[in-house]
């Protein structure tokens, strides 16, 4: 509610509403919209790139042996994985789509209070990677929700003996998780605040002097 104040010459002037009066700020939704848009953009880019590289691998590597790149540091070796890394859980393929659906639901819930652009990139990478592999689980052979994931990149060995054969979706997931860990360690919150700043504001002046 605005207040009117009488001036000395009898005219009325409108005073600014006091802080905390509940007046809506038209820009309050802007950080959230930007963060959500960035999350969706990163996720879509990651998903499309993963689908394209998998299709290229199927087209170019089917029936071929491993292709050596960078002097043997990287090999392109087409495989189909029914499990996780190192084929862990290959006898329980149906579990992985359920886990992925849970991850997607968690990211959707996190997006409700998301206002941090770095966190948007992190969650977008995780979402895009999760959807990329979920697409394989649902639509590829041998059947719905038990499909095998297409992998094609092997490091230092053509058959994944040094590191599990992976795809672009796996890379997105790993990069997103590592970025999330970094953001947590540096105190960056998903709502755009900094944990260190909040802790400093909560301290009394005496505590701040003692810590200094």
Q: How far is CA 19 from CA 1, 16, 22, in A?
A: 11, 9, 8
Active site residue 91: no
DSSP class per residue in 136-172: HHHHSTT-TTSPPEEEEEEESSTTSSSS--B-HHHHH
- Say which of 9, 50, 157, 170 is annotated catalytic: 170
- Say which of 151, 157, 191, 201 is annotated catalytic: 151
Q: State how far Cα 100 lies from the chain centre.
A: 13
Active site residue 27: no
Between CA 118 and CA 129 the distance in angstroms is 17
Residues designated as active site: 151, 170
């Amino acid at each position: 509610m605005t207040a009117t104040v009488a001036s000395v010459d009898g005219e009325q002037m409108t005073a600014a509403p006091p802080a905390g009066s509940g007046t809506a700020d038209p820009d309050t939704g802007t950080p959230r919209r930007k963060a959500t848009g960035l999350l969706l953009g990163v996720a879509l880019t990651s998903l499309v790139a993963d689908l394209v590289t998998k299709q290229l691998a199927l087209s170019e590597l089917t029936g071929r042996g491993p292709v050596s790149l960078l002097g043997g540091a990287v090999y392109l070796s087409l495989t189909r994985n029914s499990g996780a890394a190192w084929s862990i859980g290959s006898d329980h393929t149906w579990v992985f789509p359920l886990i992925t659906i849970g991850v997607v639901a968690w990211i959707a819930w996190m997006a409700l209070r998301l206002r941090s652009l770095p966190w948007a990139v992190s969650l977008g990478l995780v979402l895009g990677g999760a959807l990329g592999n979920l697409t394989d689980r649902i639509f590829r052979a041998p059947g719905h929700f038990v499909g095998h994931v297409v992998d094609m990149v092997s490091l230092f060995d053509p058959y994944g003996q040094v590191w599990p054969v992976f795809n672009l979706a796996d890379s997105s997931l790993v990069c997103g998780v590592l970025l999330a860990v970094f953001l947590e360690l540096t105190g960056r919150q998903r709502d755009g605040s900094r944990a260190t700043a909040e802790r400093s504001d909560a301290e009394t002046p005496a505590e701040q002097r003692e810590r200094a």
